[in-house]
Chain A
Amino acid sequence: AQSVTQLDSHVSVSEGTPVLLRCNYSSSYSPSLFWYVQHPNKGLQLLLKYTSAATLVKGINGFEAEFKKSETSFHLTKPSAHMSDAAEYFCVVSGLHSGNTPLVFGKGTRLSVIA
């Protein structure tokens, strides 16, 4: 079965400093991996997606993530945090190898950005 582990439940950074949100996955085959963001009282928005093409994936709002098979990791980074980045971030793996099937969510990492 597929699973994801988000290593930090809460990360706090100062505005203008780098962001690193860590995620490890478990899958019996090459998975599709996603990062979604949820702002307070909002729905989930897709940040980026990895599907076995380039291992470095660029997303919206300056975020990117690197797929590392040897480490089974898919960490999310951003060079410089903005106040508007404060939100909950979910690392997600697809349930099956192909087709649109239920997603398996991590527990989430709450990102706080300090002015």
Chain B
Amino acid sequence: DARVTQTPRDKVTEMGQEVTMRCQPILGHNTVFWYRQTMMQGLELLAYFRNRAPLDDSGMPKDRFSAEMPDATLATLKIQPSEPRDSAVYFCASGLGGTDTQYFGPGTRLTVL
């Protein structure tokens, strides 16, 4: 049963620390998305990649967030330095270009104290 995996599942850190979240898309999927979920804003897109190339990262605060795909099986989202307002659940999703369906990972719950 292919699924998207994310690590860590939970992360508690202090303000100013670096946070790295990882995502393994479903094998063969060429499109990867990062979404953030908060009570106030709901689900919002941070960035997405196709064939490892970034297509849109306009949803990310550029000064502190960065997203990369070192290879086709790994996507990373990094926050440096982290702030309390970054506390949220971060979801990764993957899909195939040419279709609309996205498959979501279980999320990383980030708490910044």
Contact = CB atoms under 8 A, between A and B. Distances in A.
B100 A100 contact: yes
A102 B100 contact: no
Contacts of A49: 100-101
Binding site secondary structure of chain A: loop
Q: How many B residues touch the partner, as a band?
A: 20 to 34
Interface residues of A, number: 23
Contact of A44 (B91, B98, B109): B91
Given A32-B100, A94-B100, 18 more contacts: A34-B100, A36-B104, A41-B109, A44-B91, A44-B93, A46-B102, A100-B50, A100-B96, A100-B97, A100-B99, A100-B102, A101-B48, A102-B45, A102-B48, A105-B44, A106-B42, A107-B42, A108-B42
A34 B93 CA distance: 15
B42 A100 contact: no
8 closest Cβ contacts across the A-B interface? A105-B43, A44-B104, A100-B95, A32-B100, A43-B106, A100-B31, A102-B45, A43-B104
30 contacts: A32-B100, A34-B100, A34-B101, A43-B4, A43-B104, A43-B107, A44-B91, A44-B104, A46-B102, A46-B103, A51-B100, A90-B43, A94-B100, A98-B98, A99-B97, A100-B31, A100-B97, A100-B100, A100-B102, A101-B48, A101-B100, A102-B45, A102-B48, A102-B56, A103-B33, A103-B45, A103-B102, A105-B42, A105-B43, A108-B42
